[in-house]
Amino acid sequence: MVFNSYTFIVFFLIVLFLHNLPLAWKAKKNILLLASYIFYAVWNPPFILLLWLSTIIDFHVGKALYTQTNLYRKKLLLIISLIGNLGMLCYFKYGEFLLDNFVSLVNLFGVNYAPPETNIILPAGISFYTFTTLCYTIDMYKKHSKPVESLLDFSLFVTFFPHLVAGPIVRPEQLVPQFESPRTASKKQLFEGLLLLSLGLFMKVVLADSMLSIAADEVFNSKEILPTLDAWMGVLAFTGQIFFDFAGYSTCAIGVALCLGFVLPQNFSFPYAATGFSDFWKRWHITLSSWLRDYLYIPLGGNRNGQKRTYINLMITMLLGGLWHGASWTFVVWGGLHGLFLWGEKFVTDRMSDSKNKQANNFNGFVYALFTFLLINITWVFFRAASFSDTGRILGSMFNSIEGAKPLLTTLAIIKISIIMVFTIIIHWLMRNKSTLEVAYKMPWFITGFVWSVMIILLVWSQESGGSFIYFQF
């Protein structure tokens, strides 16, 4: 089930109605859990078994990890959890990728190996809920928090439908305490939740799907060398599409949870106003970047073991972060590019004592943000392109004007992309230290109402353009 569907609207209204009935809190939690399973089962009911397996294993292993005093047994329990979670992830997400690379490797040595054809279906959101349960067992191993006493609360923490399929990636301490006592949304929370839900759907349906996706698909699916302008416009279209799609989902998720009285962590903070790549990862997919920092980068040693080791840890983190996004070498290179840019940024800042005191809000900061945005566009080519040959064709078209290249995009499409992306950059810069709700409350009520009404009208008009969210495949 997707947020941008009439089916979800009916589903959500039913859940909202049941959640506000005068029922016992345990009954309401059971309703939320059942609703979450229904929400997920719409894609493929058998994959509910994977959710159950992951939930049951990590609930019991987590309790045992917290109480176990024998170090050998404790490590064994952690290994069981890691094998259970990462094993499922590796099989379903990386099985075909690993097999294809193994076949290519043995063929290099003259072995003609042809494996039977596989048809592995990727369960929706497996990368997200795997990371959600993994952080729990790792925290129990390190005794960072106490184990969850109720299986119902833990199950709801893992499967709560707003964040289940594409995040935000939640930590136990962020959500579990909210299940311990009765919660319903206040009038203020309901207003904020519905506003965020409307905004998220507008970002996804109107901007990502209706305005930008067609141009991005045309450019990246084309097999011809393109005019430089068309190539840049196609990449810019995807730059906007991936943000409005994923940030739109996160905004919907936060809004839906708020309508029920629950608070999910922020996942985006106007990333295209980032002044550097470290700032970008504090603003883009915040819950993933903080997860990678706390559960990968810091355990590897972080910046505690000298400059050389810091650079290595940084690159390993970004390469694995790229691989997390997809089973393809193009995603690994995408992560590697971010690692290289972070290297360069760290190299410069380590040698410029005044760089950390740079005022990000002045003109120089805006120029630096534009330069960062330019480099981010280049990295998105590797993220979106289906192969390295497609990547080379797009990059070649972007930086090498070929005479006789046939234009692909219409003038109207180019104007539309230009206007949307210029406004996106300006709004991100103006809002870089603000929140959407903060601005909404500061505006006169009639302006907020007018903007909200326009979004709803455009949503209804564009509804047939809505498709699945991009990050569902991750």
Q: What pLDDT was estimated at residue 155?
A: 94
pLDDT surpasses 80 at 36 = yes
Which pLDDT band, with edges at 50, 70 and 90, does 114 fall under?
confident
pLDDT of residue 115: 73
Asked, as a colleague might, if the bond just before 168 is cis with ω within 30 of 0, I would say: yes
User: How far apart, in whole angstroms, are the C-alpha atoms of residue 399 and residue 258?
Assistant: 45
The reported pLDDT for the residue numbered 355 is: 47
DSSP code, position 385: -
- How far apart, in whole angstroms, are the C-alpha atoms of residue 8 and residue 259? 14
Q: 147: cis peptide before it, omega within 30°?
A: no
pLDDT in tens, 246-305: 999 999 999 999 999 999 999 999 999 999 999 999 999 999 999 999 999 999 988 888
pLDDT digits (tens, 9 = 90+) for 95-108: 887 787 877 788 87
**What is the per-residue pLDDT for 391?**
93
Altogether, the residues listed in the chain come to a count of 474
Annotate 189-222 with b (16+ C-beta within 10 A) or e (fewer). bbbbbbbbbbbbbbbbbbbbbbbbbbbbebbbeb
d(CA 4, CA 438): 25
Task: Report the distance separating Cα 56 and Cα 59, nearest Å.
Answer: 5
Residue found by looking up tokens 């990547």 in the block = 391
Query: What whole-number distance in Å separates Cα of residue 57 and Cα of residue 456?
Result: 43
How far is residue 62's CA from residue 138's CA, in Å, rounded to a whole number?
A: 8
Instruction: Return the half-sphere exposure (C-beta side, CA atoms, 13 A cut-off) of residue 256.
Output: 27
DSSP per-residue codes, 2-61: -SSSHHHHHHHHHHHHHHTSS--HHHHHHHHHHHHHHHHHTT-GGGHHHHHHHHHHHHHH
AA letter at 16: L
User: Pick the catalytic residue: 163, 285, 325, 428?
Assistant: 325
Rg (CA), the chain: 23
CA quadruple 449, 450, 451, 455: dihedral positive or negative?
positive
| Residue written as token pair 């996804």 | 204
Domain boundaries, the chain: 21-183, 189-473
CA distance 382 to 43: 28
Residue 116 corresponds to which tokens in the numbers above? 């039977």
How many angstroms separate the Cα of 389 from the Cα of each of 128, 220, 338, 376, 395? 30, 11, 20, 20, 10
Asked whether the predicted pLDDT for residue 404 surpasses 80, the reply is: no
Torsion over CA: 46, 48, 51, 52 (sign)? negative
More confident residue, 11 or 50: 11
In one-letter notation, the amino acid at residue 112 is N
Task: Respond yes or no: is residue 325 known to be catalytic.
Answer: yes
What is the distance between the alpha carbons of residues 88 and 82, in angstroms, rounded to a whole number? 10
Over residues 304-324, the pLDDT tens digits come to 888 888 999 999 999 999 998
In angstroms, the CA 92 to CA 187 distance is 42
Mean per-residue pLDDT of the chain: 88
- In 3D, which of 182, 226, 168, 173 has the Cα closest to residue 397? 226
User: For 197-254, what is each residue's pLDDT tens digit?
Assistant: 999 999 999 999 889 999 999 999 998 888 999 999 999 999 999 999 999 999 999 9
Count other Cβ atoms within 10 Å, centred on residue 107. Answer: 12
pTM check: above 0.75: yes
